[in-house]
Amino acid sequence: MGYPHPSHSRETPVISKYFGDPEARTLAGWQKRGGYEVLKQALSTDPVEVQNVVKDSGLRGRGGAGFPTGVKWSFMKPDGKTHYLCINGDESEPGTFKDRELMRWTPHQLVEGAAVAAHAIYAETAYIYIRGEYTEPIARVSEAIREAYAAGILGANAMGSGKRVDVHVHKGAGAYICGEETALMNSLEGRRGNPRIKPPFPAVAGLFAQPTTINNVETVCAAIHVLRNGADWYKSLSSPTNPKSTGTKLFSVCGNVARPGNYEVGMGFPMKDFLWELCGGPPAGRAFKAIIPGGSSVPILTPEECEAAVMDYEGIQAAGSLLGSGGVICFDDSQDMVRQIARLARFYAHESCAQCTQCREGTAWTTKILERIRDGQGTMKDLDTLLEIADNMTGKTICVLSDSCATPVVSGLKKFRHEFEAKIPKNRSSVMIPSLSTAAA
Amino acid sequence: MTAPAAPANPGMVTLTIEGREVIVPPGTNLIEAAKTAGVLIPHYCYHPSLPVAGVCRMCLVEVEKFPKLTPACATTVGEGQIVHVHSAKAREARKGVLEFLLINHPLDCPICDQAGECELQDYTFAEGRKDSRYMEPKRFNPMEDFGGDVLYVPNRCILCTRCVRFMDVVAKESVLNVSERGDRAYIGKFEGADLTHAWASNVVDLCPVGALLSKDFLNKARAWELDRAASICPSCSQGCNVMLETRDNVVVRIRPRPNASVNQHFACDVGRLNYRWINRRDRLEYPQVRSSQGLVTTSWSEAVKAAASAITAAARVTVLVSPALSNEALYLLGRIASHVSATAVMTIARGPEAPLPGVKDLSLRAERAPNHTGAELFGFTDVISPTAGLGSNDLLIVADAAASVSAVPDGVRVIVIGTVLDDMLKGATIVALPVCNFAEEDGTFMNLRGRVQRFQQSKAPPAQVRPTYRVFGEVAAAIGAGSYPALASDVFATIVATVPAFAGMTYRTLGLQGAPATLPAGAAV
């Protein structure tokens, strides 16, 4: 649903069906809408069966990487160890705000999804990690958990099943990197939010060194609909041409666009229709210049590249970018791409956890060069240097923050090189350093 | 995951690193495996005594069939792996890391203490860029006194976090942290905490660059001016393996030398900083004998003769030794003592024990002497007051143990065989024989667990000073207690032949790591 706009007829609202409906926030309202039926049934079902339904549905992680959810759950075996579920509600990717709305409007959907997922991975405890700036979502989810405990839905005997399910909210402190799964676990444990080296993978030794599964908010919300209506129903929501991307996806649209907001469409939706019909195209009198389709970490697309693209994992990849978190950022022709890319780089330089050399130094250096070019102090050589730095920053670090900083730089330089060149004073071979030039004079 | 190939060597993993076949136990990481083939994989954050962090990204290597470069520190060996350390791709990645590490580095090698033993300098020289593309202003942070003996120069820091991990995991006293994020990050101290832990100075050695410096060694010498000799720390009975570093015959620094059985890679602050006495200038430099004009300088042969006749003529002899003498010296002193049925005693200085929690059985020991175990083995007993009950019938031989004597009772005659002639002893001294301190001779110590470890000469003795084992050997021969060789290794061979605890040892087999003695049951271990 295109909250705050009325739902468009071509949308497929499943997880976003109750956006804007305050009654759905309450336990009574959620139960009236069929809430917690899936949990009740799941708790009496063998976790392997739950895993299999989700596996069959083709549901993939909605946080960005797109790993098949059922397969991830099936890594967790009943081995007698304490298992943990982490729900990633850190949602710190610039341009992404789908989880925020899910948590604001349907907190019980998340609590139910978390409880179902916990059961599916033989865990009794789920932690919902929500970024600190999300004060309203934190309040809504906390209230939902309180209601659920009071109603016996959570606790030592969840819904009378005899099974224990505990769900806790953990408030992040606002670091982007804490959305990285292992950094999130460090943060939950009370440590500095630094990503961990893998292996060991979380499924082997995650939170508190126990087997852990981590899922995005949207993923577990979608999972309960899969379990309620079946895998085949879920697959029927998306374009039949691509069986690898199934179900619906919630896209957050922001930037220079007529109707920003969240839109839930079936996978495989044509991007052109999405941008023009659903989102209303660029602001009046403007034209699109660039689209970032999946949060700030993915390659920038030109409007031409978006023309024929379809919105699913493979479709956006074919167009030269990634589905990522589903945060669609639109730029119109009034935007200075150098300024925008420099701003993105500054974000990553600010958020680098400082562990890996390439990221710590590379993000900051990239930012300094970009800002110098933006301020008219660049040289042609800087453009080559930027690409070489980006190459040194890609695929060499513990997590992908470094790669994420390099991505918009590389794609931006490839697609908007003329804008960079236009900022560079003609025939300049070296940087003008004011103190030196005055000294020479 | 592919099915594991049948191992070529059962129980071991066989792989190829830089074209060389390597056979190592399972679980070994690639850096350690490469070492066995003589291949150094450049690294900063990895250290064999610390948990793996995998953050410097310097040790990226190419492993065939791996999609990306992999950090060698965090990758365990796999059967049949083919590892390329110096492929174009790996070298390019390291070149990139080096460039990143240097963009905010002040490049102040000419005034940096680490220059000459700096891994950033070494690797940059080996495979870095010849120029910098960095044209922006550099990050600047002021120097900070970290307490203890440690000074932090953040501009040189590469944030490898070895120091943080040492304090957290080995010293188990969290003092250091990584503060801030991105390129603003630096090593910070927790509020109100200081590097006052007894083993804190190890962070200076662990630091691969010039970011953590010893205040004691600051601006004292350049690394390439130093001579180094393998030695044993004389400050307590732990027997930490150390390197004595000298400049122009002066010891300027003591640093730990790795020994997995004793001190891993570590040494405590007390041991490191307790070296100035080795360089004392007020040494006893010539043999002296008392005559009508007082103590007069004489020849070695006259002095030894005088000492021998005093010993044989004495009614009662007490041999007071320092538990910091070598086994070789103490063995010969033991022979002298038993030949004249002397009382053989020592005193052991004591101080507070200070363990390093992260390493098993490693501590600054309460017994502040390197060889009290050896001394006990050679028949010397620990007493509180070695001069009590002595009178005019007594001859006291003080073997470098002036510190054990608070006052000489009236009438007692003293033979001093030591590095210095203490004023308090001077009046009673009839013969004074100058000997080397441990840094000026070869020898062995036995640590509190009975491990026999060699130390090597690291500086030249002054004037006519002679090695302890030679002087004691000559005195022993002069009183008729046998004849002894003039080399430390030969004296040691004599010990091995007569003392069962040392059975089978030679200087060669002891090497630089030592070996445990077979101590009789109930021995002081």
Which chain A residue is nearest to residue B67, measuring alpha carbons? Answer: A395
Contact yes or no for A357 and B158 at CB 8 A: yes
**pTM (2 decimals)?**
0.93
Listed residue (A202, A118, A121) closest to A166, CA to CA: A118
Give the tens place of pLDDT for each residue, A199-249. 899 999 999 999 999 999 999 999 999 999 999 999 999 999 999 999 999
Asked if A236 reaches chain B (Cβ–Cβ under 8 Å), the answer is no
Helix (H) or strand (E) holding B363, with range, is strand B363-364
Listed in sequence order, the residues at least 6 apart from B117 whose beta carbon sits closer than 8 Å to its beta carbon are B223
Contact yes or no for B136 and A363 at CB 8 A: no
What is the pLDDT at residue B3?
A: 54
Answer whether A143's CB lies under 8 Å from A26's CB. Answer: no
What is the pLDDT at residue A174?
A: 87
What is the SS3 string spanning chain A?
CCCCCCCCCCCCCCCCCCCCCHHHHCHHHHHHCCCCHHHHHHHCCCHHHHHHHHHHHCCECCCCCCCEHHHHHHCCCCCCCCEEEEEEECCCCCCCCHHHHHHHHCHHHHHHHHHHHHHHCCEEEEEEEECCCCHHHHHHHHHHHHHHHHCCCCECCHHHCCCCEEEEEEECCCCHHHHCHHHHHHHHCCCCCCCCCCCCCCCCCCHHHCCEEEEEHHHHHHHHHHHHHCHHHHHHCCCCCCCCCCCEEEEEEEECCCCCEEEEEECCEEHHHHHHHHCCCCCCCCCEEEEECCCCCCCCECHHHHHCCEECHHHHHHCCCCCCCCEEEEEECCCCHHHHHHHHHHHHHHHCCCCCHHHHHHHHHHHHHHHHHHCCCCCHHHHHHHHHHHHHHCCCCCCCHHHHHHHHHHHHHHHCHHHHHHHCCCCCCCCCCHHHHHHHC
Answer whether B116's CB lies under 8 Å from B223's CB. Answer: yes
Listed residue (B43, B26, B47, B51) closest to B90, CA to CA: B43
What is the pLDDT at residue B4?
A: 57
Q: Which residues of B touch A357 (CB under 8 A)?
A: 55-58, 97, 100-101, 158-159
Gap from B81 CA to chain A (nearest CA, Å): 17
Asked if A364 reaches chain B (Cβ–Cβ under 8 Å), the answer is yes
Tokens representing residue A12 in the block: 């497929």
Find tokens 């405890």 and name the residue.
A125
Contact yes or no for B57 and A356 at CB 8 A: yes
Listed residue (B484, B489, B486, B475) closest to B444, CA to CA: B489
Listed residue (B363, B46, B374) closest to B208, CA to CA: B46
What is the pLDDT at residue B134?
A: 94
Task: Suggest the residue from B45, B68, B183 to mutate for an interface test with chain A (most A CBs closer than 10 A).
Answer: B183
What is the pLDDT at residue A433?
A: 55
Contact yes or no for A364 and B183 at CB 8 A: yes
Tokens representing residue A363 in the block: 């993000």
Radius of gyration of chain A (CA): 23
What three-state secondary structure class fits B388?
coil
Find tokens 């304490």 and name the residue.
A82
Spatial distance between the Cα atoms of B59 and B250, rounded to a whole number of angstroms: 38
Gap from B354 CA to chain A (nearest CA, Å): 28
Give the tens place of pLDDT for each residue, A91-144. 999 999 999 999 999 999 999 999 999 999 999 999 999 999 999 999 999 999
Asked if B58 reaches chain A (Cβ–Cβ under 8 Å), the answer is yes
Contact yes or no for B103 and A365 at CB 8 A: yes
pLDDT, averaged in runs of 10, over chain B (525 residues): 66 95 96 96 97 96 96 96 96 96 96 96 95 93 95 97 97 96 95 95 97 96 96 97 97 97 96 96 96 96 97 96 97 96 96 96 97 96 93 94 92 96 94 97 96 97 96 96 94 96 95 89 50
Strand B13-17 versus strand B316-321 pairing type? unpaired
What is the pLDDT at residue A431?
A: 56
Report the 10 Å Cβ neighbour count for B461.
Answer: 20
Listed residue (A411, A323, A393, A309) closest to B57, CA to CA: A393
Q: Which residues of B touch A349 (CB under 8 A)?
A: 182-183
Asked if B470 reaches chain A (Cβ–Cβ under 8 Å), the answer is no
Torsion sign over Cα B6, B9, B11, B15:
negative
Q: Which residues of A touch B70 (CB under 8 A)?
A: none
What is the pLDDT at residue A440?
A: 44
Contact yes or no for B96 and A355 at CB 8 A: no
Tokens representing residue B87 in the block: 């492929």
Gap from B56 CA to chain A (nearest CA, Å): 5
Answer whether A30's CB lies under 8 Å from A102's CB. Answer: no
Asked if B101 reaches chain A (Cβ–Cβ under 8 Å), the answer is yes
List, in sequence order, every residue forming a beta bridge with A251; answer none if it has no partner.
A263
Answer whether B454's CB lies under 8 Å from B437's CB. Answer: no
List, in sequence order, every residue forming a beta bridge with A22; answer none if it has no partner.
none
Which chain B residue is nearest to residue A397, measuring alpha carbons? Answer: B57
Q: Which of residues 299-358 of A touch B (CB under 8 A)?
A: 349-358
Which segments in chain A show pLDDT lower than 70? 1-3, 427-441
Q: Which residues of B touch A365 (CB under 8 A)?
A: 100, 103, 134, 136, 183
Q: Which of residues 147-186 of B touch A (CB under 8 A)?
A: 158-159, 161, 177-178, 180-185
Contact yes or no for A354 and B54 at CB 8 A: no
Task: Suggest the residue from B43, B57, B141 to mutate for an interface test with chain A (most A CBs closer than 10 A).
Answer: B57
> Closest partner residue to A197 among B74, B177, B183, by Cβ?
B74
What is the pLDDT at residue B2?
A: 52
Asked if A398 reaches chain B (Cβ–Cβ under 8 Å), the answer is yes
Q: Is residue B293 packed enough to be buried (19+ CB in 10 Å), middle (13-18) or exposed (0-12)?
A: exposed
What is the pLDDT at residue B524?
A: 45
Spatial distance between the Cα atoms of B397 and B468, rounded to a whole number of angstroms: 14
Rounded alpha-carbon distances, angstroms, from residue B41 to B38, B73, B117, B248, B464: 10, 9, 17, 34, 49
What is the pLDDT at residue B8?
A: 79
Answer whether A420's CB lies under 8 Å from A369's CB. Answer: no
